[in-house]
Amino acid sequence: MKNTVFKTFISRFLILILNFGLVIYSTNMWGSEGKGVISIVIADLTIIGFFSNIFVGSSVTYFASKYKTEQILLYAYGWSVLIGFFIPVIFSLVRHVEYLNYLIFLSVFSSLLAANINLFVGKQNIRMFNVFTILQQLVHIVFIVGIVYLIGMTSVSAYFLAQIGCYSLLFIVSSFLLLRNCKMSNISFSTPIRNKMFDYGWKIQLSSFLQFLNNRLSFYFLEYFKGIVSVGIFSIGVAFSEAIWTVSRSLSIVLYADLVNNENQNAALEKTKISLKISFFTTLFFIAGILLLPARFYVFVFGKDFHQTKQIILFLSPGILAIAVSNIIGYYFAGINKLRILNAKSLIGVVFTIISSFYIIPRWGITGACMVTSISYCLSSALLFWKFYQITEFHIQDFFISKSEFQILLDKLLKNGTK
């Protein structure tokens, strides 16, 4: 597992570098307003993704070792096309949606690709999972360069066209790798499989959707009360948050893949505790490193509109640390199919965010959004910690790495680093 975690962390670190390169380019190319538009469209895409992920998300991973690939992908692909078209159209009936056509294509192809990537995880093919997650960023950048500098399109549409091209190309390639050994005779509709995938999928997606609202509701409140420019500025701080979560998400993915393929509960708990320790200290280290950078560094990198970035990260820091560690516990509960607690913890965060945002964000703007988001993260994580403490022999010292564990981890990293 440690070898896999290391490789996954390296892949996530590469994704982090590519993602920040894309963020820096987009802010300098299209400014805070353009970055705000991109953030809102991507937020809409993420909401649509929660509907499609009922069949293409964790349910694909969870049942990959239990049913035939052909049967799982039949429902995943069909659901991706259905949701990818109708949900954006429904959104457009409720409110004005910029770039609706782009949003539809993005929704369909991102869901189809997600089904394939999650199937790699379910089959414990973490190598291919890492490859395709890296390629999502790399190919997107290549397409942007081609559209902007070869075709000459300089509007923000270039960003979305490049993303559509990236998702569709990677879907075709990953489908070839997955389906080349499949048999047409195995394709069949199965009501029990459909029902089980839906039952597991909607429960875990409800939790994920509520957590997304914790992460992104502030975008919509900021847009409503303070305008699209404030969204663009705030989104940079959120981008740093998600970058810091690279470690915990890497550990979580490997842990989840292991849990759904292993029935040894004691081993699962031990791996979860080790992951908690690593996530806690590495996250603390990254937060400290980012906060040590002077404010003028962010202005130099992102532009003069982003002078508040260091302050935003400072206010978000307690919540960033809480989520980084609770991500590990959340995937533990998902891996053992105990999803109710995940819904409860996310719901607490959402309720707090909605109620407090109406009062705080109109008065304190971006700073208020940071405060609301961070407190929401801490509240929801606290419930998850409490539940984990109740059902396990978990103590505060479990957060701390012993000297022997640190030496083992160091030896493993050095060994992998020399390969």
Q: Are 254 and 335 in contact (CB under 8 A)?
A: no
Would you state the structure tokens that stand for residue 59, as one six-digit string? 């349910």
pLDDT tens string 328-381:
888 778 777 677 787 788 888 888 988 998 889 898 888 999 999 899 989 988
pLDDT at 186: 66
Give the C-alpha separation, 351 to 376, whole Å. Answer: 9
Give the C-alpha separation, 145 to 152, whole Å. Answer: 10
Q: Please report, for residues 229, 237, 257, 310, 330, the alpha-carbon distance to residue 14 in angstroms, rounded to integers and kept in the order given.
A: 29, 19, 21, 23, 24
| Burial (0-12, 13-18, 19+ Cβ within 10 Å), 367 | middle
**Amino acid making up residue 239:** A
Would you state the structure tokens that stand for residue 92, as one six-digit string? 């457009």
Give the C-alpha separation, 20 to 143, whole Å. Answer: 16
Q: Are 293 and 416 in contact (CB under 8 A)?
A: no
Q: Are 60 and 115 in contact (CB under 8 A)?
A: yes
Closest listed residue to residue 217, CA positions, set 238, 196, 246: 238
pLDDT at 400: 61
Q: Are 239 and 313 in contact (CB under 8 A)?
A: no
What residues does each domain of the chain span? 2-181+188-401
pLDDT at 415: 45
pTM value surpassing 0.85: no
Would you state the structure tokens that stand for residue 4, as one six-digit string? 């896999």
Residues in the chain: 419
Sequential DSSP letters for 104-151: HHHHHHHHHHHHHHHHHHHTT-HHHHHHHHHHHHHHHHHHHHIIIIII
pLDDT at 414: 46
pLDDT at 5: 56
Give the C-alpha separation, 33 to 49, whole Å. Answer: 24
Phi then psi for residue 86, to 5 deg, are: -75, -35
pLDDT at 405: 55
Across the chain, which has 419 residues, the per-10-residue mean pLDDT values are: 58 74 81 79 84 84 78 87 91 80 92 90 82 89 92 88 95 89 71 83 77 77 83 80 74 68 67 76 84 85 79 90 84 74 83 90 90 90 84 63 55 44
pLDDT tens string 301-321:
777 777 888 888 899 999 889
In terms of DSSP H, where are the helices of 227-263? 228-244, 246-259
Contacts of 305 by beta carbon, 8 Å cutoff, 6+ apart: 31, 32, 229, 232, 233
